[in-house]
Amino acid sequence: MKIRRFSGIALTLAILGTWWAIASLHVIPELFLPGPVQVVDAFRDTFPTILIHTAATLSRAWAGLILGSCLGIFVGLAMCWNQTVFALLDPLVESVRPVPAIAAIPFFILWFGTGSAGQVLLISLSCAAVLAVDVFHAVGNVSPLIIRAAQSLGATRWTVYRSIILPAIIPALAPGLRIVAALSFSIAVASEFIGAQWGLGFIIMRARRTLETQTILLGMLLIGVLARSTDLAIRSALNHITRWSESSTELLQQPREENQS
């Protein structure tokens, strides 16, 4: 098991090694492909302010993700409440969802300035629009038997939603949550490109003007680290919350005896 766990890390190290080897051969100009050494130098040069930029991006993405998830779950559940709410919200959600959030950035800057509020709001809305659809379909797949059971035990509609539907849909929301987590970083960085004084997107944009490609690469790597850590955190939280649910993945991954000789 340990070998399997480290194989992913080994692959990452192999790619880093290849990158380092290509960069140190100097066949590609440094401007086009800065090596790991240059990136580490860039980190040292910008330390400690780079950490503040990283924290800025992380906090925006997380704030937007959390607010957006709550909003999305609320809207999704509301759409299931009755036909009237559905008719009211469905066109809105379905017309907001396909519009790329990036297209709205100029307006958000105009309305909210270059502070975090507008960025967080934009991330929230994008995440919410995606999750609302997930929630809506997940509710439709909840076993009618457990809803009947709750009703016959005396649950009101409100209780059914809060105590039965909400926990029941979490496993089905896992993929959506992981996707919007990545989305929140994309939108955070994109909005920092256009208007912000802090954040990794801002660092990348500033470095672009002066052609400091090593700093651009550093920014990219840091975004990757943030997104990866966020995904791991979400996955481990979900694994804990949905420990009651039956998963087929393990079953499928078990080696079948007849194939082994």
Partner 1 sequence: MEIELQHVSFEYRTERRSALADISLRIGSHEFVAIVGPSGCGKSTLLNLIGGFLQPTSGTVLAGGKLVAGPGADRITIFQKSALFPFYSAAQNIEFGLKLRGVSKRQRQIESRRVLEAINLLDFANAYPKELSEGMKKLVEVARALVLSTPVILFDESLSGVDALKRYRMQQLIQDIYLRNRPTVIWVTHDLEEAVLLADRVVVMSHRPGRIDSVRDVTLPRPRTEAMRTSSELQAIRREIFDCLVSEGALSEVAQ
Residues binding partner 1 (CB under 8 A): 143, 145-146, 148-155, 159, 163-164, 167-168, 170, 242-246
- Tokens, residue 117: 């509020």
Kindly state the tokens that stand for 196: 């912000």
**Closest separation in Å from C-beta 49 to partner 1:** 45
Q: Which residue lies nearer to partner 1 by CB, 114 or 151?
A: 151
Identity of the residue, 105 or 174, whose beta carbon is nearer to partner 1 in the bound complex: 174
Shortest distance, position 248 Cβ to partner 1, whole Å:
12
The tokens describing 23, both together, are: 């960069």
Query: Closest separation between CB of residue 113 and partner 1, Å?
Result: 43
CA dist 84 → 22, 75, 136, 235 (Å):
61, 13, 15, 35
Nearer to partner 1, 47 or 158 (CB): 158
Kindly give the residue spans of alpha helices, DSSP state H, lying in 82-194: 83-96, 101-112, 116-140, 144-152, 157-159, 166-194
Q: Which is nearer to partner 1, 150 or 222 (CB)?
A: 150
Q: How far is the CB of 21 from partner 1 (least distance, A)?
A: 49
Half-sphere exposure of 12 (CA within 13 A, CB side): 9
What six digits make up the tokens of 154?
Answer: 């005396």
Cα–Cα distance measured from residue 65 to residue 76, given in angstroms and rounded to the nearest whole number:
16
Nearest approach, Cβ of residue 246 and partner 1 (Å): 5
Minimum distance between the CB of residue 81 and partner 1, rounded to whole angstroms?
A: 18
By beta-carbon proximity to partner 1, the closer residue of 5 and 243 is 243
Sign of CA dihedral 244, 248, 251, 253: negative
Decide: 220 and 39 in contact? Cβ < 8 Å. no
**Residue with smaller CB distance to partner 1, 133 or 142:** 142
Distant-in-sequence, close-in-space partners of 89: CB < 8 Å, separation ≥ 6: 75, 78, 79, 132
